[in-house]
Amino acid sequence: MEVPPSSLSVAAPVQAPVADVPATGAACLNCGAPLGAAYCGACGQRSVDLGESTWQTIREAFSDAFDLDGRVLRTVRALKTPGQLTLEFVRGRRMPYVGPLKIFLFAGAALTTTWILTRGIDMHYYGFTLKGSSSQYIDNVVRGSLTGCVAVGFGSWVLTRGRRRLLDEMVFALHVVAALLLLVAAVVWLGTAWKLIWGTAAAVPSGVPALPFLLYLPSLVPGLAYVAAADRRVHGGAWWVAIPRVLIFTTLALAVIWAVLFMSPA
């Protein structure tokens, strides 16, 4: 567990709610070290009171399962400010957030769940019958987004001529791709709401543009703006440098993803 040096951090460090400090002389039930605080200084386990109420134990189990101490939510909220999470990570403020790989996996799971929940409506709207299994779709999300991460990280590292370590660029890529996966999930939900309003594509009045022109293509603008703002926050420099740089490495990433998903031997 990394603890940020409090003397260096400007903002107050975010901490888990502190339980009662145990009586002196108590020992950690996990490792046996003497307890001086609500959390064991040797292994990090919370001071466990075996006499605590059933309700307390159930609450503890749920907050453990769903991360109700808010790290996932706080991480998603931090993602809304482009580049912020990456800067926090490279500056060593890691405790309040879940790690880059975990938030990336969370975003991938959110997009996959979105697709599974909405595809019935999608099929009905376009009059398609089900083709392709969920596992094939999950396979595509995983392979596509991982390829995208490697391409964005490496592309950004080359284009900024190694201003930051390659490892930091991979963290940047995981954060950016996670944000894009969440954006795609949000766009899919918007599209699904639109499909629910009309029922089928045939029911949409002829003057109204089709969904790709109404929603999917326009959403590229906030997507690219996000990546450019994140790039600029992490690497510094002027907008007129960041924007072409982002256009180059996103084009590169899309080309590599395309190659991996559609040109590999089936």
Among 3, 26, 27, 42, binds Zn ion (CB under 5 A): 42
In the window 121-160, what residues touch Zn ion (CB under 5 A)?
A: none
Residue 28 in the binding site for Zn ion (CB under 5 A): yes
Give how far the C-alpha of residue 76 lies from the chain's centroid of Cα atoms, to the nearest Å: 6
Q: Is 103 left (phi over 0), alpha (psi -120 to 50) or beta?
A: alpha
Strand partners, 39: 46
Residue 30 in the binding site for Zn ion (CB under 5 A): yes
42 close to 28: Cβ distance less than 8 angstroms: yes
Region binding Zn ion by CB under 5 A among candidate stretches 40-48, 136-144, 212-220, 239-247: 40-48
Nearer to Zn ion, 37 or 142 (CB): 37
Among 31, 101, 196, 203, binds Zn ion (CB under 5 A): 31
175 close to 79: Cβ distance less than 8 angstroms: yes
Among 3, 18, 37, 43, binds Zn ion (CB under 5 A): 43
Tokens of 136: 């094939």
Of 140, 72, 138, which Cα lies nearest the Cα of 106? 72
Find the shortest distance in angstroms from Cβ 31 to Zn ion: 3
How many residues make contact with Zn ion (CB under 5 A)? 8
Q: How far apart are CA 241 and CA 166, in angstroms?
A: 20
Residue 40 in the binding site for Zn ion (CB under 5 A): yes
> Which spans of this chain sit near Zn ion (rule: CB under 5 A)?
28, 30-31, 33, 40, 42-43, 45
